Amino acid sequence: MRRTELFLPTLKENPAEAQIVSHRLMLRAGLIRQASAGIYTWLPVGIRVLRKIEQIIREEQDAAGAQEVLMPTIQSADLWRKSGRYDDYGKEMLRIRDRHDREMLYGPTNEELITDVLAQEIRSYRDLPKNLYHIQWKFRDEVRPRFGIMRGREFLMKDNYSFDLDFAGARRSYNRMFVAYLRTYARMGLKAIPMRAETGPIGGDMSHEFIILADTGESEVFCDRALLDLEPPQADVDYSADLQPVVDEWTSHYAASDDKHDPAACDVPDSQLVTARGIEVGHIFYFGTKYSEPLGAVVQGADGERVTLEMGSYGIGVSRLVGGIIEASHDENGIIWPASVAPYAVGLVNLKTGDSACDDSCGELYAFLRSSGIEVLYDDRDERAGQKFADMDLIGLPWQIVIGPRGLKNGSVEVKARGTDQRLELSLEEVRTWATENLAA
């Protein structure tokens, strides 16, 4: 993409309304603009990041055996009356009436809707287990929307729902998602720690929040340093195997939020105890028959008996992750995208637009990169070099290729890594080889 064509409104100054660094940088780097309180428009560069995050989530969900569906944003109040949540949900739920005066709502989550789908279609134990996910916008009329997309009112969530015949099956489904989550965050360059969460009336140990550590996190967390040293499960994890030992390894280390942390009861030595702030980027739950019972998700078991399905639900804050990744990866000049979620793999900086040698070399390299399937943002604007450098750093692409008149005299260009001081001096021929080897998807 040529910068002269791209809709990318960057800001030099920090917007006054943004209190945390990710919000400031998302506005300054032209990723989002606010539409109204807690509701945002995603601009071209922002949507590219969002889509990459979605795609990583999708691949890991598929690998773990979940299947993608797409449920609507607007739901009927009737279903929520059956589960009892229509009244319980309170003011966070956005309620709507259609022209026939029917009560509708903008979904804050989808347990009722998916359970109803299964209840209508599934009759026999042979149809199970099933695990269905979708990536869809949610609306929660938060009391205090803040920090940009971190706590929005409209936000993108991946949510999935597992249906099993018995508790053992539900635990297997839970463990699969647990492992898939560890892998998902690791692919985005994040270290997410699982933290035991309230399970409500169902009890048990099967609810975890996944927390990434960042100075601006909303809550204070305490955890055993050993947790930060664990390696996430490998790409070739066998999801048909018993994953309990993997889960146990991760849950055996101490992690608690400040409201549950009890220094007297915590046996992690002070030198081992990490105190940090955390951002919740996912939450998984097992909740038994809480929805399947009232919504009639019942099948015939192997011996002809009626079996009410055992369920779990699993959420990832997709749009929140954009902010979370920036919180975890930035410097004073701007964002530093991990390659896996970067809007473009590389920025091409023409230091002297209008100079025919620069224009020709940039144009040829740009065409080459594109034909090699490398996502490139070419800054072809007639701007000062300093402005182009500042913008490129702000946008945070992992690599920059800089072409200027002085280097071209010796036939050389500069390649810079955004996050480190790594710099390479390459010829125009070498930079092509380097790009094919390092940037091709």
Cross-strand partners of 257: 221
In whole angstroms, give the CA distance from residue 198 to residue 209: 9
Residue 281 as a binder of ligand 5CA (CB under 6 A): the answer is yes
Out of 75, 173, 313, 350, point to the residue binding ligand 5CA (CB under 6 A).
Answer: 313
Q: Which is nearer to ligand 5CA, 217 or 282 (CB)?
A: 282
Q: Which of 205, 214, 180 is nearest to 325 (CA)?
A: 214
- Burial of residue 123, with CB atoms counted within 10 A of its CB: 0-12 exposed, 13-18 middle, 19 or more buried: exposed
In whole angstroms, give the CA distance from residue 131 to residue 135: 14
Q: Which is nearer to ligand 5CA, 109 or 353 (CB)?
A: 109
In whole angstroms, give the CA distance from residue 166 to residue 79: 24
Subset of residues 72 to 111 that bind ligand 5CA, contact rule: CB under 6 A: 109, 111
* Eight-class DSSP state of 271: G
Do 278 and 220 contact (CB within 8 A), yes or no? yes
Question: Phi/psi zone of residue 21: left (φ > 0), alpha (ψ -120 to 50 degrees), beta?
Answer: alpha
Residue 142 as a binder of ligand 5CA (CB under 6 A): the answer is yes
Shortest distance, position 108 Cβ to ligand 5CA, whole Å: 7
Q: Which is nearer to ligand 5CA, 281 or 299 (CB)?
A: 281
Out of 3, 130, 290, 320, point to the residue binding ligand 5CA (CB under 6 A).
Answer: 320
Residue 280 as a binder of ligand 5CA (CB under 6 A): the answer is yes
User: Candidates 245-253, 254-262, 314-322, 426-434 — which segment interacts with ligand 5CA by CB under 6 A?
Assistant: 314-322
Total of residues contacting ligand 5CA (CB under 6 A):
19
Residue 282 as a binder of ligand 5CA (CB under 6 A): the answer is yes
Residue 54 as a binder of ligand 5CA (CB under 6 A): the answer is no
Residues in the chain: 441
Q: Which is nearer to ligand 5CA, 317 or 343 (CB)?
A: 317
Shortest distance, position 228 Cβ to ligand 5CA, whole Å: 20
3-state secondary structure of 262: coil
Shortest distance, position 90 Cβ to ligand 5CA, whole Å: 14
Do 328 and 59 contact (CB within 8 A), yes or no? no
In whole angstroms, give the CA distance from residue 242 to residue 97: 47
Shortest distance, position 324 Cβ to ligand 5CA, whole Å: 8
Q: What is the pairing mode between strands 103-106 and 74-76?
A: antiparallel
3-state secondary structure of 179: helix
Site string for ligand 5CA, 6-45 (x = CB under 6 A): ----------------------------------------
User: Candidates 56-64, 184-192, 307-315, 431-439 — which segment interacts with ligand 5CA by CB under 6 A?
Assistant: 307-315
User: Candidates 270-278, 289-297, 317-325, 403-411 — which segment interacts with ligand 5CA by CB under 6 A?
Assistant: 317-325
Q: Which is nearer to ligand 5CA, 48 or 140 (CB)?
A: 140
Site string for ligand 5CA, 145-184 (x = CB under 6 A): ------xx--x-x-x-------------------------
Using CB positions, name the residue nearest to ligand 5CA: 317
**Phi/psi at 130 (5° precision):** -140, 145
Shortest distance, position 317 Cβ to ligand 5CA, whole Å: 2
Cross-strand partners of 299: 307
In whole angstroms, give the CA distance from residue 65 to residue 48: 26
In whole angstroms, give the CA distance from residue 107 to residue 348: 42
Q: Which is nearer to ligand 5CA, 176 or 388 (CB)?
A: 176
Shortest distance, position 7 Cβ to ligand 5CA, whole Å: 24
Do 278 and 212 contact (CB within 8 A), yes or no? yes
* Eight-class DSSP state of 14: P
Q: Which is nearer to ligand 5CA, 106 or 389 (CB)?
A: 106
In whole angstroms, give the CA distance from residue 254 to residue 217: 19
Residue 317 as a binder of ligand 5CA (CB under 6 A): the answer is yes
Q: What is the pairing mode between strands 298-300 and 32-36?
A: unpaired
Place of tokens 């994040």: 190
Do 2 and 126 contact (CB within 8 A), yes or no? no
**Residues of the shown chain interacting with ligand 5CA in the complex, contacts defined by CB under 6 A:** 109, 111, 140, 142, 151-152, 155, 157, 159, 280-283, 313-315, 317, 319-320
